[in-house]
Amino acid sequence: MNDCLFCKIINGEIPSKKVFENDKVYAFYDIAPQAPVHVVIVPKTHIASANEITAENSSAVADIYTAIPEIAKILGVSETGYRIVNNCGKDAGQTVFHIHFHLMGGDVGGKMY
């Protein structure tokens, strides 16, 4: 856990461009944006991926989704729309094993399904 990149971003050990923070959630601009607006939203508690969500820790996901409307408002995409993406594991391309949700707005390349 000490080696977790996003834990280090949350505790300020690694700098990030903060968009939003409350006691449960931290959101910051992605270092390699894949859309005109691209923010990463993480719970402050370390959960490796969607595979590790349980009845005991799933409030972390609710905390993220509770923050999303406010984050979208800050980013100015509430009305124009945005996509939320969570990659879990190798085949989905997850590279950082601290669960996170990408919020992407602007030209997000149409529908994905």
Rounded to the nearest whole angstrom, what is the least distance from the CB of residue 29 to ligand 5GP in the complex? 6
3-state helix vs strand vs coil in the chain, percent to 5 = 25, 20, 55
By C-beta, is 31 or 62 nearer to ligand 5GP?
A: 31
- As a whole number of angstroms, the distance between CA 10 and CA 94 comes to 19
Q: Which is nearer to ligand 5GP, 31 or 84 (CB)?
A: 31
Q: Indicate whether 96 belongs to the interface with Zn ion (CB under 5 A).
A: no
> Could you tell which of ligand 5GP, Zn ion, none binds residue 98, using a CB distance below 5 to 8 A set by kind?
Zn ion
Separation of alpha carbons 39 and 71, rounded Å = 9
5 sits in which H/E element: helix 5-10
Answer yes or no: 38 catalytic: no
Active-site residue list: 100
